[in-house]
Structure 1
Amino acid sequence: MTFRSYFFLLALGIASPMLVQAQDAPRQLNSLPAVPDSARRQPQLSQQPQMQQPPSQAVPPRQPAPAPPAETTRFAVGLKNGTVYKAYDVEIKQPVFGRSYLLLDDQRRLDLNEISFYEDETGHYVRTTLPRSKRETTLRRDRVGRLSLYSDTRTQYAGNGYSPYGRYGGYGGYGGYGGFGGPVYRTVKTEYFSKDNGPIQDMSLRNLSLATADNAGSAALLMQARKYQTYSTMSYVAAAGILAVGIFSTFNSNQSGISVSPLVYAGIPLAIVPLVLGSKQQKNVKQAISLYNRGGE
């Protein structure tokens, strides 16, 4: 083998590995590497379409609720001729000299003789004539129904009292100077009723029995109330008689010193019994009126 052949074989052996590497290398030096098939099948997050957010709208500020209209009329005043006035303020005026009158909103003045009814902050009042009387008076309406209830509250003089606290001592009273009592007053409430807006009647068991005769349940309750009233009267009479005899025996005893008769102690329980029976009587009367107004039997 000649020297040229030898040199050719040597050059061919050196160039063969380089050709192999050239085939494995990318054909273009500036091209990007190929992406694997597994990566091609996965969706690219960067290529997914983005949801467009709606433009934010400005929320208008909440408007405050409108204030309710000012109350200008809250009471009613009715006249005997049928006229009805509405007023925000109703006051009754009772001057020392002259007639009593109503003052509406510090402007309108109405004589009580013209009034049929009126309302103020304390309730509903009617002008009416009491039984066995020709003079009108003012009654407060306490309950409305077939049997409407009314009342008249007055302050009465109850004599002189004694206050150990002096002139300005004592609760609710005006005592005398230096420990001597001054005038004492008491509050008396008288009740009335009317049936179906009829005439005013005294609140007596007899009148109520006649008014509720068409209701068996109310009539039975009032019958029981009349029995309590009878027992109370008998207890009062018995207690008064026993106490009188006991006091007489105490002061006419021949023994030395004062010895209280046992009859005095015996009369005390009899004096307490009417208080218990009176409470039951009033309870029956209230139940009878409520039952009648409800229409129950």
Structure 2
Amino acid sequence: MASRFYFLLLALGVATPALTQAQNAPRQLNTLPALPDSARRPGRQPQLSQQPQVDQPPQQAQPPRPPATSVPAAPETTRFAVGLKNGTLYKAYDVEVKQPVFGRTYLLLDDQRRVEMNEVSFYEDESGHYVRTILPKSSREVTLRRDRVGRLSLYSATSTQYAGNGYNPYGYGPYGYGGRFGGYGYGGPVYRTVKTEYFSKDNGPIQDMSLRNLSLATADNAGSTALLLQARKYQRITTLSYVAAAGVTALGLFSTLTSSQSGPSISPLIYAAIPLAIVPIVLGGKQQQSIKQAISLYNRGQE
């Protein structure tokens, strides 16, 4: 009996250090600590620590923004410029050219300011830009409209000219065939609008729009020179056609007036002159086209 007791004490003495060493041994890395049995409940998982919930203050409702209103643009008070010869520059919303029956032409700015035309260097209105200048071989100052801006700036003047009383040698008057006064018709006065063109090189003096002047002004551009030579060829053919048409028409009129046949009779020469009169119309358009191309080529600076 005593030997069994001593054997049990020896066994307890050997097991006690082993249990103590196992309890004090370090845990393995990357493992969670073991929870006591009292914390383990069936169906419930251990929860990790959570951040405390902070109560967010309620957001206040933003007041609605008023709709964006566009700022109205300032009214335009100046559209045109009027420059005087003394260097004064006027800005106006409305510029009118006044031509009284008695008196001199003047400009009226915004229905208030009157400017004499002889004081004006240039002005603008709804129809374009105008300059006051003296034409070549003239001492009178005129108004020219500027049509194009460039190294060769183009200008023009429009006038109305009397073209006769409407005499018609072909027998068609204002009252039908034969007219009121016999075999030839007589109409009222006839007027035509004539546009005369000018140009200036590098804002220089105004020059007549002639092939000679243009050839001298564009002599430093080979392409423009070639086009103007072509336009000169059209001009020569046009002149010859006009002369031939006039001669044939004159002969036809003489033959018609001296005809011994009874009743109106038109000479065939009159009809022969019609093709000769059409040639200048066709070639005249080609001539003007060549001149415009030469000016455009020169202003673009291309050879």
For normalisation by structure 2, the TM-score amounts to: 0.70
Structure 1 counterpart of 2:88: 83
1:71-125 Cα offsets, whole Å, 9 max, x none, are 1111111111111111111112222222221121222221111110111111111
Q: Distance in 2 between matches of 1:261 and 1:163?
A: 23
Structure 1 counterpart of 2:153: 148
Q: Secondary structure at the match of 2:129?
A: strand
1:272 aligns with 2:285: no
Structure 2 counterpart of 1:65: 70
Q: How has the CA–CA distance of structure 1 residues 250 and 109 changed in structure 2, closer, same or farther, with 3 Å as cutoff?
A: closer
Q: Secondary structure at the match of 2:71?
A: coil
Q: Distance in 2 between matches of 1:144 and 1:155?
A: 26
**By how many angstroms is 1:216 displaced?**
0.6
Structure 2 counterpart of 1:104: 109
Among 94, 98, 103, the alignment partner of 2:99 is 94
Q: How has the CA–CA distance of structure 1 residues 97 and 124 changed in structure 2, closer, same or farther, with 3 Å as cutoff?
A: same
Letter paired with 1:233: T
Q: State the superposition RMSD in angstroms.
A: 2.8
Q: Distance in 1 between matches of 2:96 and 2:262?
A: 67
Among 112, 117, 122, the alignment partner of 1:117 is 122
Q: How has the CA–CA distance of structure 1 residues 240 and 158 changed in structure 2, closer, same or farther, with 3 Å as cutoff?
A: closer
1:242 aligns with 2:248: yes
Structure 2 counterpart of 1:218: 224
1:231 aligns with 2:237: yes
1:151 touches 1:192 (CA, 8 Å); kept in 2? yes
1:221 touches 1:285 (CA, 8 Å); kept in 2? yes
**By how many angstroms is 1:139 displaced?**
0.7
Structure 2 counterpart of 1:134: 139
Q: How has the CA–CA distance of structure 1 residues 81 and 264 changed in structure 2, closer, same or farther, with 3 Å as cutoff?
A: same
Q: Distance in 2 between matches of 1:181 and 1:71?
A: 50
Structure 1 counterpart of 2:192: 186
**By how many angstroms is 1:284 displaced?**
0.4
1:293 aligns with 2:278: no
Q: Secondary structure at the match of 1:194?
A: strand
Structure 2 counterpart of 1:195: 201
Bigger mean CA deviation after superposition, 119-128 or 245-254: 245-254
1:263 aligns with 2:269: yes
Q: Distance in 1 between matches of 2:247 and 2:142?
A: 40
Q: Distance in 1 between matches of 2:240 and 2:110?
A: 55
Q: How has the CA–CA distance of structure 1 residues 261 and 92 changed in structure 2, closer, same or farther, with 3 Å as cutoff?
A: closer
1:235 touches 1:274 (CA, 8 Å); kept in 2? yes
Identity of aligned residues (%): 75
Q: Secondary structure at the match of 1:287?
A: helix
1:126-166 Cα offsets, whole Å, 9 max, x none, are 010011110101111111111111111112233445766xx
Q: How has the CA–CA distance of structure 1 residues 235 and 108 changed in structure 2, closer, same or farther, with 3 Å as cutoff?
A: same
Query: Paired residues, what number?
Result: 237
1:208 aligns with 2:214: yes
1:174-203 Cα offsets, whole Å, 9 max, x none, are xxxxxx965433211111111111111111
Letter paired with 2:118: N
Structure 1 counterpart of 2:38: none
Q: Distance in 2 between matches of 1:98 and 1:293?
A: 41
Letter paired with 1:95: P
Among 288, 293, 296, the alignment partner of 1:282 is 288
**By how many angstroms is 1:260 displaced?**
4.5
Letter paired with 2:277: A
Letter paired with 1:130: L
Q: How has the CA–CA distance of structure 1 residues 119 and 55 changed in structure 2, closer, same or farther, with 3 Å as cutoff?
A: same
Bigger mean CA deviation after superposition, 114-123 or 149-158: 149-158
Letter paired with 2:159: R
Letter paired with 1:72: T
1:216-270 Cα offsets, whole Å, 9 max, x none, are 1111101000000000111111222223333434454566766644433322111
